[in-house]
Amino acid sequence: MRPQLILIAGPYRSGTNGDAALIAGNLHRLEEAALQVYRLGHMPMIGEWVALPLAVAAGSKAVGDAISETFLYPVANRLIRQCDAVYRIDGASQGADADVRLAEELGLPVYRSPDDIQKVPTNTNAPHIP
């Protein structure tokens, strides 16, 4: 098996009421899941890693403003079309649920646990990442 590009889908703004600390906590959970995927030998991707810098470059001043809204979901939609699979982490999120629906429409695997993701051998000459 070759390494997969896996989109991590889960809550980002959901359940935060716009609270920056709660949004940061959600991003931390997405990044923890990304680390798990990386340790399994795959390449993780989080839509916000791409959408947020694009929104700022376009003039967004805050998450949830009109400019950022034009990037968050469309970027995830484009990314999924480039990915091999989606890993849906726990937590209520309409955006993540939409990501899963699109992945399923495209015939991509949707993982619900890191145990569902097959480990691939990594290059033994590469530096070890703990």
Please tell me the predicted confidence (pLDDT) of residue 8: 98
If one counts every other C-beta atom within 10 angstroms of the C-beta of residue 24, the result is 10
If one counts every other C-beta atom within 10 angstroms of the C-beta of residue 67, the result is 16
In tens, the pLDDT along 3-45 reads 999 999 999 999 999 999 999 999 999 999 999 999 999 999 9
CA angle, 3 then 10 then 78, to 5°: 60
In tens, the pLDDT along 83-111 reads 999 999 999 999 999 999 999 999 999 99
Q: Is 54 exposed, middle or buried (0-12, 13-18, 19+ CB in 10 A)?
A: middle
Which strand ranges, in their side-by-side order, compose the sheet holding 5-9?
43-45, 5-9, 85-88, 110-111
CATH topology of domain 5-114: Rossmann fold (3.40.50)
Sequence spans of domains, the chain: 5-114
